[in-house]
Amino acid sequence: MKEKITVPPLKIQGIKTKLVPLIRRAVKRNPAGLWLEPFMGSGVVGFNLKPKRAIFADTNPHIIAFYVGVQSGLVSPSAVKLFLETEGRKLEEGDAEYYYEVRRRFNAEHSPLDFLFLNRSCFNGMMRFNRSYEFNTPYGHKPFRFARAYVTKIVNQVARVSDLISRNDWRFLCQSFEETIAMATRDDFIYCDPPYIGRHVDYYDSWDMESEVLLRDSLVASRAPFMLSTWEHNKYRSNATIQTVWNKCFITTQEHFYHLGAKEENRNPMVEALLTNYAVEEERALSEKEYAQLTFDMF
């Protein structure tokens, strides 16, 4: 029987929900080690692999504040239910005018609950910020967005993540990927889902070739096993960095269809790539001896 996928309450472009089974099969890690995600994003991968000890980090302070709120109980299922029901009624009455009122309020006060509201009522689920780090995604034009069933769905997602956080030793940190990777040891595992170079998917910070090279160098210097999610190709173009920056990695691919994206060409099938510094074999548990014999120094 297939394990049910935990879907996080925040929607983010490029979310890896459909790739979780492939990632789960391809991960080789020491269960006692630390799981590190320098680019937390939605958190969907870590939430489904359920490590006992983990560091989820991101440069987007609003994502981190949201999950710190879940951890502290500020963003509880009951609080989310009451907030979305109340704000949903106001959206029904005020439509676009009220959406932009909440957006202005969030950019001034940075409430995690306003962040969730905007994330679920903005255009096509896009999380986008301007150069002043203000949320600037336009309205999705669905005044009846927060129907009872939809609110219940979001509340259940918050409840599931809240339960996972309470059962495990997880930390949520707002910091650079370099700082997060520097925390790793050889016994840990680093999973990276950075912004995709060559595609306009920024949700907080920019990403360029210099960033891509710095990420590779940081991962290599860590001496830890790592996995990086990126794109290999779609019908328009290919990702040249796989043959340049990441050419010494092992590669595993799978087609993935994106529904999020402002442009139609960004909502087409894409071949995703998992890049690792170890060979991906058939799914099976590793013994402590086998894990100790793995090498991650191919660069």
Whose CA is closest to 141, among 105, 97, 107?
97
CA 15 to chain centroid, in Å, comes to 6
Give the per-residue pLDDT at 13: 81
DSSP-derived letter for residue 203 is: S
| Three-class DSSP category at 284 | coil
pLDDT tens, 241-257? 999 999 999 999 887 66
On whether the CB atoms of residues 24 and 49 are closer than 8 A, the answer is yes
E strand or H helix at 35, and its extent? strand 35-37
Q: Rounded distance, CA 47 to CA 244, Å? A: 31
3-state secondary structure of 54: strand
Give Dmax (Cα) for the chain: 63
Q: Where are the beta strands (DSSP E) in 130-218?
A: 169-174, 189-192
Question: Would you state the structure tokens that stand for residue 272, as one six-digit string?
Answer: 């995703």
Six-digit token pair at 57?
A: 């980090």
Residue 73 to residues 115, 163, 260: CA-CA distances in angstroms? 16, 11, 30
Question: Does residue 184 sit in helix, strand or coil?
Answer: coil
Return the structure tokens found at 17. 């929900």
Which pLDDT belongs to residue 125? 85
Q: 135-186 pLDDT, tens per residue?
A: 999 999 999 999 999 999 999 999 999 999 999 999 999 999 999 999 999 9
Backbone angles phi, psi at 219, to 5 degrees: -65, -45
Calculate the CA 174 to chain-centre distance.
Answer: 14
Could you tell me which residues are beta bridge partners of residue 54?
Answer: 35, 170
pTM greater than 0.85: yes
Weakest-pLDDT range from 84-88, 155-159, 229-233, 281-285: 281-285
Per residue in 121-132, pLDDT (tens digit) is 999 888 999 888
User: What is the phi/psi pair of residue 256, to 5°?
Assistant: -140, 135
CB 278 within 8 A of CB 258: no
What burial class does residue 71 get, using C-beta atoms within 10 Å of its C-beta: 0-12 exposed, 13-18 middle, 19+ buried?
A: middle
pLDDT of residue 283: 46
pLDDT, one tens digit per residue, over 42-73 is 999 999 999 999 999 999 999 999 999 999 99
For residue 82, pLDDT beyond 70 = yes
Cα(65)–Cα(110) distance, rounded to whole angstroms? 9
